[in-house]
Amino acid sequence: MVLFKDWMVRGVSACILVVSLYSPALYSQVPNPQAPSINPFPNYANNGVVNQSNNRNQIPVTPSSFNPDLNRQQQQNRNIMLEVEQNQKLQETAMKEARTDIEELRGAVRYTLQTYSKFEGTQFYYEAFKKIILLDTTFSLKENNFLVENAYFGNTLDKAEFDKIITQSGDFIHAKMKEQGYDQNSNAAKNFMLFQFFSETLQLKSTNQKHLPFKYDFDDYRGIKNYAKMFVSKLLATKTGQCHSMPLLYLILADEIKAEAYLALSPNHSYIRFPDDKGKWYNIELTNGMLSTDSYISQSGYIKSEALQNKIYMENLTKKEMLSGLLTDLADGYIHKFGYDEFVKTVIDKALELSPNSVRANMIKANLDSARMDFVLRQIGNRPLEKYPQAIDMIEKVKSQYSFIDQLGYEDMPEEAYQEWLQSMNKENQKQKNEELTKQLKKALSNKKSTIKG
């Protein structure tokens, strides 16, 4: 909301009062030439002696009378009339010119952001947006996520190599499950092995093939300096990632081994949820390789009741909502590389169509609307804002968008608070809870093994 207040200060400064070209005071100072001239003083003549006689026999004054004072008054009146007529014509001309200027100014103001379409690399984003599968039963997280990341790298990622790594990882997980005696059809077993794949060192006895765990990258984990830190491709290349890339890779591998798992959100964070074979749900925190409870996630202090009511946090995301998130990632990467333009609007409008309550998509829309509003107000400058109703409407829409985000229950979680919350999982009570949940899951898997053997 601080950002919006900054915009509003700029908007108020642009609202300058207009001084009308019509001035009633001007006309109040001009005598009416049609009104009779009333002399408040007595008629003095003959060296100042007052004429007390009756005026009925006096000769009426006519324009042809040789009265120098009267001719002077008539000339003055005529001059005044000419001046008034001249002033009226000048005012009419000025008003016409002012109206013309205003119309020209209105036409000159551009209400859409300048495009980056001529910049090298934008075409890859346009292509990716067209290719991303929308509302299709064949929706593939692996394919669509690759399109998002490949657009950022200018279509230079090796798709064959990416697919190969995913396939080999899936084969390794299946082989390890078989080696451990787990039921290949057990959703709990699949997710538990996936969990171990991310958090432990695993080795296949048959081939001595070893897999090392993924680690959390605390350096620029929000991708502010290097947006590629958010990507699955970076995670695969460096074995380090954060709460955006790790859950995405988990779900890509879950699809590869046909496991049921879901992405869930909390403030500035995402994590994994999955059901065991009896319907009990588990939360996986890949950032530190631990199982967690709903109560721990809600203890961050930044989850409002409104957010829970609007289901923006701690809920399993549907495929439509996942696709909305990928489109938001596409828009976010574009913004980091180029900036805000109307292509961002096209992508975010589609993301919000799929998930109207998406906090990230709504925040990008708010920033986009603010950028467009600032662009318009810069063009208007110090001109009267009331002459630009479309600009005023834009200001109201920005206010409404920020208000909607507040109503969703969003509250910004400072980086320090997020770091503190992440590190709190390493406290003794959380470690004990993780061990307890792990034992429960292993026990369920052990019982499943016995059933299979029997």
What pLDDT digit, counting tens, does each position of 119-168 carry? 999 999 999 999 997 656 678 999 999 999 999 999 999 999 999 999 99
- Cβ pair 327, 363 in contact under 8 A: no
Report the mean per-residue pLDDT for the chain. 80
**pLDDT on residue 428:** 73
Residue 314 reports pLDDT greater than 90: yes
Q: What is the mean pLDDT of residues 1-15?
A: 34
Through-space distance between the first and last CA atoms of the chain, rounded to whole angstroms: 62
Q: Is 178 helix (H, G, I), strand (E, B) or coil?
A: helix
Count the residues in the chain: 454
Q: How confident is the model over 235-257, as pLDDT tens digits?
A: 999 999 999 999 999 999 999 99
**pLDDT on residue 83:** 65
- Cβ pair 337, 152 in contact under 8 A: yes
**pLDDT on residue 447:** 66
Residue 65 reports pLDDT greater than 60: no
Cα distance between residue 277 and residue 264, in whole Å: 20
pLDDT band with cut points at 50, 70 and 90 for residue 371:
very high
For the chain, the structural domain boundaries read 122-453
Encoded amino acid at 388, one letter:
Y
Cα distance between residue 297 and residue 243, in whole Å: 14
Cα distance between residue 162 and residue 74, in whole Å: 99
- Cβ pair 198, 250 in contact under 8 A: yes
**Prediction pTM value:** 0.75
Q: Which of 70, 144, 134 is nearest to 329 (CA)?
A: 144
